[in-house]
C-alpha cells in the first residue's frame, strides 16, 4: 500500500487528466479496491480541478504543457536519495502541503498556468501592436506623399488659371481695332524675351506684356516705368510666371500727362522711386524703338 504523499501525487495527476501507463493502471486498481483514503483525496482534487476552467478561463495550457508540469511533479519522488538540493517541483509540492493540501496545490497550479498563458498572450499583443504601428507609419508616409502631389497640382492649376486670365485679357485688347501696339526693344542678353504695350485710346487704357523673360534673381524684381512730362513714374513692380510671362493693365492713361517712353528695369525687391538698375526693355510712345 502506498503512503499518503505518493497517493496524493498520483491522484492530483489523475484529477488533471495527466496520468498514463502503469501509474494510471495502479491508481485505478487502488480506487477499485475501495480505499477510503484514495476516495477522499480524489473528491478533494476533483473539487479543485472543477474550478480551474473558471479561475483561468481562456488561459488553460495545451496538452503538452500540462504533461510537462505533471511530469515535473511526479518526477520529484523518483530522484535518488543522494541528491542534496531537491528540484523546484519537489519544493513546490512541499509548499503546497504546508498551505493546506490539495486546495493549496491546486491554487498554485492555477497561478503558474495563468502566468505562463498571460505571458504568451502579452507577447502576441505586443507583436500585433508593433505591426499596427508599422502600418500607421506607412499610411502616414503615403498621406504625406499624396499631400505633396496635391500641393504641386494645385500650384500648377493656379499657374494655368493665371496664364488663362492673362491670355483672355490680352485677347480682349487685340480684338479691338482701335488698339495699337508699341513694341519694346530688348535691352539685355536674352534674345528670346519680348515685350510691348497695347494702347487703347478710346478706353484710355494700356496693357503691358512680356514673354519668355527669365525669372528675376533672388532679392530682385522687375519694375515697369512710364516717362511722362520728363518724369519717370513707377507703374508696377512684378514677377514673371514659370513661362516668363506677365501682364499689367494700366487705366486712365491720360492722367499720367504727356507720355514719352516706356521701360522695364531690374531693381531690388520692393522697387525704387526712379530707375537705377539694369535696363531690360525700352520703347518710346510713338512706336519707334529707343
CA angle at 170 for the pair 167 and 176, rounded to the nearest 5°: 140
Write out the residue range of the structural domain in which residue 11 sits: 4-121
Residue with C-alpha cell 525704387? 272
CATH of the domain at 219: 2.60.40
In a domain, 170, yes or no: no
For 220-236, what is each residue's pLDDT tens digit?
999 999 999 999 999 99
Number of independent structural domains in the chain = 2
For 246-289, what is each residue's pLDDT tens digit?
989 898 898 999 999 999 999 999 999 999 999 999 999 875 33
Beta carbons within 8 Å of 268's beta carbon, 6+ residues apart = 219, 220, 221, 277
pLDDT value for 94: 52
Residue 111 and residue 12 in one domain: yes
Average pLDDT taken over every residue of the chain = 76
Q: Which of 78, 94, 121 is the last residue of a domain?
A: 121
Report yes or no on whether pTM surpasses 0.75: no
H helix or E strand, kind and range, residue 133: helix 102-174
Give the chain's residues under pLDDT 50.
Answer: 55-59, 76-83, 85, 88-89, 91-92, 95-99, 288-290
Distance from C-alpha of 34 to C-alpha of 20, rounded to nearest angstrom = 21
H helix or E strand, kind and range, residue 221: strand 220-228
In a domain, 44, yes or no: yes
In a domain, 235, yes or no: yes
Sheet containing 179-186: order of strands:
231-238, 220-228, 259-268, 278-284, 179-186, 194-200, 205-211, 246-251
C-alpha cell read off for 269? 525687391
Amino acid at each position: 500500500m502506498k503512503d499518503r504523499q505518493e497517493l496524493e501525487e498520483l491522484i492530483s495527476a489523475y484529477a488533471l487528466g495527466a496520468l498514463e501507463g502503469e501509474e494510471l493502471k495502479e491508481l485505478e486498481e487502488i480506487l477499485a479496491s475501495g480505499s477510503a483514503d484514495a476516495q477522499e483525496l480524489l473528491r478533494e482534487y476533483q473539487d479543485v480541478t472543477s474550478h480551474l476552467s473558471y479561475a483561468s478561463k481562456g488561459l488553460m495550457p495545451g496538452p503538452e504543457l500540462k504533461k510537462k508540469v505533471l511530469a515535473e511533479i511526479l518526477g520529484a519522488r523518483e530522484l535518488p536519495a543522494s541528491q542534496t538540493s531537491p528540484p523546484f517541483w519537489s519544493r513546490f509540492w512541499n509548499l503546497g502541503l504546508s498551505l493546506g493540501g490539495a486546495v493549496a496545490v491546486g491554487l498554485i497550479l492555477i497561478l503558474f498556468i495563468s502566468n505562463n498563458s498571460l505571458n504568451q498572450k502579452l507577447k502576441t499583443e505586443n507583436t500585433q501592436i508593433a505591426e499596427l504601428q508599422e502600418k500607421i507609419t506607412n499610411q502616414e508616409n503615403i498621406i504625406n506623399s499624396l499631400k505633396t502631389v496635391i500641393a504641386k497640382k494645385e500650384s500648377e492649376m493656379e499657374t494655368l488659371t493665371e496664364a488663362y486670365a492673362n491670355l483672355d485679357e490680352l485677347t480682349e485688347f487685340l480684338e479691338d481695332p482701335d488698339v495699337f501696339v508699341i513694341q519694346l526693344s530688348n535691352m539685355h542678353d536674352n534674345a528670346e524675351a519680348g515685350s510691348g504695350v497695347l494702347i487703347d485710346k478710346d478706353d484710355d487704357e494700356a496693357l503691358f506684356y512680356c514673354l519668355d523673360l527669365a525669372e528675376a534673381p533672388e532679392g530682385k524684381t522687375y519694375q515697369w516705368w512710364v516717362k511722362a512730362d520728363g518724369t519717370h513714374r513707377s507703374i508696377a513692380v512684378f514677377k514673371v510666371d514659370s513661362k516668363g510671362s506677365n501682364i499689367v493693365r494700366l487705366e486712365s492713361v491720360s492722367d499720367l500727362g504727356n507720355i514719352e517712353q516706356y521701360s522695364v528695369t531690374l531693381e531690388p525687391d520692393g522697387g525704387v522711386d526712379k530707375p537705377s538698375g539694369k535696363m531690360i526693355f525700352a520703347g518710346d510712345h510713338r512706336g519707334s524703338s529707343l
